[in-house]
Amino acid sequence: MNPNSRLKSRITAREPVIGAFIKTPHPIIVEIMGASGMDFLVLDAEHAPFDRGSIDQMMIAGRAVGCPLIVRVPTTSPDWILSVLDAGAAGVMVPHVNTREQAKDLVRMTRYGKGGRGFAGTTRAAAYAKRPFSEHLAETANETTLICQIEDPEGVDNFEEISRVEGVDALFVGRADLAVSYGFDGFFAPEVTEKSNPILGAGGCATGLYCAPGENLGPLRQAGATFFVVGSEHSLMAQGASKIAEDFADAGAH
């Protein structure tokens, strides 16, 4: 079982897995973070300057250290989804999924079949033509994780239906966007928790969310979450550097 299919099997079995966002489009970041012991990393092409070339380089680094990479795509266009999957991504995280119909379209885009993902047998995902045609067709569904983000009022209304679409592997709660869209007072507002917890307990698939470094994951696990993205290389670097500076200042004060 390769790293991509292993990750998908763990997510769909609702085993606890932990990763982090990557915001810097340089393969050394993946090389370092991918060797940290995390189960996966998410390249944030929605909010960071990734293009097809930089994603391709990140995939090479991920494979070098055996770390599966999911890409949070900036749009649901088939060309974006096709390009990151051909590059060897373990899956896609799709923002602002609001309806069952949208989720079904995403499943179609990520799988081979009539009207679905375009086939190319010479990509990294197909082992550069070393993988037999029939094997690649058969195994792709086992290696591709589809994660739908719930972060709008319409998505909250429809999350249970979305979770039960065959081919949707996980729901990812966007607490920050929920706070913005509902007009709540911040990421940790009690009203955000009230909206988030029922989604984390969705019956149709695994669920997860972004967490701040150091946040207590216990209540989120109890609510049903098993897929955790904790911080990013930016927040982890800033937190680590600040701690060193604070410790140095404290030592100097004594």
Q: How far is the C-alpha of 130 from the C-alpha of 35, rounded, in Å? A: 27
122 close to 129: Cβ distance less than 8 angstroms: yes
Q: What is the pLDDT of residue 114?
A: 77
Q: Which of 74, 78, 65 is nearest to 31 (CA)?
A: 65
| SS3 of residue 158 by DSSP | helix
Contacts of 206 (CB under 8 A, 6+ apart): 11, 12, 14, 169, 170, 171, 226, 227
Taking residues 26-51, report their average pLDDT. Answer: 97
Q: Exactly one of 26, 47, 96, 234 is catalytic; which is it?
A: 47
Q: How would residue 254 be classed by pLDDT, with cut points 50, 70 and 90?
A: low
Residue 123 pLDDT greater than 90, yes or no: no
Q: Would you give the distance in Å from CA 94 to the centre of its chain?
A: 8
Give the CATH number of domain 3-253: 3.20.20.60
47 is catalytic: yes
Task: Please give the full DSSP string across 101-120, using - where no structure is assigned.
Answer: HHHHHHHHHHS-STTSPPP-
Q: How far is the C-alpha of 17 from the C-alpha of 153, rounded, in Å? A: 27
User: Beta-carbon neighbour count of residue 241 at 10 Å?
Assistant: 10
**What is the percentage of the chain residues whose pLDDT exceeds 90?**
84
pLDDT digits (tens, 9 = 90+) for 129-166: 888 888 888 888 899 999 999 999 999 999 999 999 99
| SS3 of residue 145 by DSSP | strand
pLDDT digits (tens, 9 = 90+) for 217-230: 999 999 999 999 99
Q: What is the pLDDT of residue 25?
A: 97
Q: What is the pLDDT of residue 183?
A: 95
